[in-house]
Structure 1
Amino acid sequence: MSRVTERRAEVLRNRRFTRLTNAFSKKLENLEHSVALHFFVYNFITRHQTLRMPPALKAHVTDHVWSFEELVELIDRRTP
């Protein structure tokens, strides 16, 4: 496993997969939403030091760096 993959797994374990914090998900659906949100922020919003841009922009999945405001708008549009 690469260092990057190990680091991602560690971050996820320390946030949502432990009962020792307030972030413990009691429902599978909440866990799924949390993981999806985490990866969206990681890939579309967070500027990575080595890439100097989010991974999704580097991979040409998106044409701009997303903001949290855009993410909230997207969630609001998709919520029934």
Structure 2
Amino acid sequence: MTSRRFTHLTSGFSKKAENHAHAVSLTFFVYNFCTPHGTLTKARGGIKTTPAMAAGITHKPWTMEDLLALIDPDRKLG
């Protein structure tokens, strides 16, 4: 898992601790809820599985639209 927010070599470097915390939270969300992992997928017989699914927190890989719907339920998607 990489995030250019940790290095000062780009303009994406977090200048405020609050912005850095938000960026890291989003990175962890995508890693755990959106990205299927090969080892977990193999263990479940080929069903694409995220760490959150393996832990029983959710039943499907999430999309960014799912996250946006939580933040703003009235937002029209698509």
1:51 is the counterpart of 2:40: yes
Count of aligned pairs between the two proteins = 66
Larger Rg belongs to: 2
TM-score under structure 1 normalisation? 0.73
Amino acid across the alignment from 1:49: G
Q: Deviations over 1:5-64 (max 9, x none)?
A: xxx4xx24xx21111022200111100100000000000000111112110001101122
Structure 2 equivalent of residue 28 of structure 1 = 17
Select 2:59's aligned residue among 57, 63, 67.
63
Q: Which runs of 5+ in 1 are unaligned?
A: 1-7
Structure 2 equivalent of residue 40 of structure 1 = 29
Percent identical residues = 53
What do you get for the CA RMSD once the two structures are aligned?
Answer: 1.4
Higher helix share: 1
Q: Which runs of 5+ in 2 are unaligned?
A: 42-48, 74-78
Select 1:73's aligned residue among 58, 69, 73.
69
For CA contacts below 8 A with separation 6 or more, give which structure has more relative contact order.
Answer: 2
Amino acid across the alignment from 1:65: P
TM-score under structure 2 normalisation? 0.74
